[in-house]
Amino acid sequence: MRTLSLYQEGDSIIHKIDPITKIIFVLITILIPIIMGTLNSAFAFLIISLTLVIIAGVIKKVLPIVGFTSIILVTVIIIQGLYYFNNRTPFFAIGTVVFYKEGLLYALEIILRIYSIINSVSLLMFTTKPSDLVEALVKKGLSPRIGYVFSSVLQIIPQMMSTVDTIIDAQRSRGMEVEGSFSRRIRAFIPLIGPAVISSLIDTKERAMALEVRAFNSRYKKTFLNEGTTFKYADVMQVSLISILIISIVLRFVH
């Protein structure tokens, strides 16, 4: 079965932490470095999330994502090093092209932030079973209906993508060209996606009715087949994480 989920089985301590705590962690690694706006905070969060990724044993999975982003980050170094509006102090030169210290530092901050976001999000996605994540959110008050959307999308997308292979074969046998001039390629786009899109939209009607006859709109309080494990330190960790966020906001405004 193809699923979009990137969850990796494992028994690290990170795997045992509850999904909500991990979500809060992701939020603060995105927010705090922006709120603080300092190189140190960005660096600190990168180290923390990188350490956690290593403890979780998923560093090998994270590297390709890091690599993919690095291409863009190289252009960030070049552009900011050359043209950052605060550039004053030449740092080094290649021929006549001068790179400035301010721009390079700014690029470094961007890189640290981006890498720490990648690491903390990866932590969540590689160590959390999607169904646990959705159930945790629903138990915290997310509407079960939105919960349904999240869990079904992970399976419905691969199902829809598998129809794509069929389309490609069919269109190829009819002599459709995926190569050629720009206008030729853009004209190939509609016959490729049109049928798949329309039939998947038509299917939504029967899908919706099939859910309704299974009491999807029921007024009863939903119960869960899987009772989910509880994590002992969830409350403590969540409160600490949120306190850190509040402290960083206060610090920012005091300064």
Partner 1 sequence: MGKRSMWSFKFTTASLVLIPTAVGINYIGKFFASLLKLPLWLDSIGTMLSSMMAGPIVGAISGAINNIIYGLTADPISLVYAITSVAIGLTVGILAYIGWFKSWSMAVVSGLVVGLIAAIVSTPLNVIFWGGQTGNIWGDSVFAFLSAREIPIWIASFADEIIVDVPDKIATVLISYGIYKGLPRQLTSIYRNDDEIKEL
Partner 2 sequence: MFFMKIITVEHLKYKYPLSDKLALDDISFEIEQGEFIGIIGQNGAGKSTLCQALVGLVPNFYKGSYGGTVLVNGINVSKTEVSEVASHVGLVFQNPFNQITGSKLTVYEEVAFGLENLGLPVEEMKRRIDNVLNLLGLYEFRDKNPFDLSGGQMQRLAIAGIIAMQPEVIVLDEPTSQLDPQGSEEVFRVVQRLSEQGMTIVMAEHKMEKIAAYSDRVMLLHDGKLIDFDIPKKVFSREDIEEYGVITPVYTRICKNLDIKDENGFYPITIDEAHERLEKIL
Which residues form the interface with partner 1 (CB under 8 A)?
4-6, 30, 34, 65, 68-69, 72, 75-76, 78-80, 82-85, 106-107, 110, 113-114, 117-118, 121-122, 124-125, 145-146, 148-150, 152-154, 156-157, 159-161, 164, 168, 178, 182, 185-186, 188-190, 192-194, 196-198, 200-205, 207-209, 211-212, 216-217
Q: Which of residues 104-163 bind partner 2 (CB under 8 A)?
A: 131, 148, 151-153, 155-156, 159
Alpha-carbon distance of 156 to 41, in angstroms, equals 39
Is residue 59 within the footprint of partner 2 (CB under 8 A)? no
| Nearest CA among 46, 68, 55 for reference residue 119 | 46
* Angle made by CA atoms 122, 125, 126, in degrees to the nearest 5: 80
| Nearest CA among 156, 132, 128, 157 for reference residue 7 | 128
User: Which residues have C-beta within 8 Å of that of residue 154, sequence separation ≥ 6?
Assistant: 3, 4, 5, 130
Is residue 238 within the footprint of partner 2 (CB under 8 A)? no
Residue 205 Cβ, how far from partner 2 at the closest point, in Å? 9
Is residue 230 within the footprint of partner 2 (CB under 8 A)? no
Is residue 217 within the footprint of partner 2 (CB under 8 A)? yes
Sign of CA dihedral 30, 36, 42, 43: negative
Alpha-carbon distance of 191 to 199, in angstroms, equals 13
User: For binding to partner 2 (CB under 8 A), which residues are involved?
Assistant: 1, 131, 148, 151-153, 155-156, 159, 203, 206-227
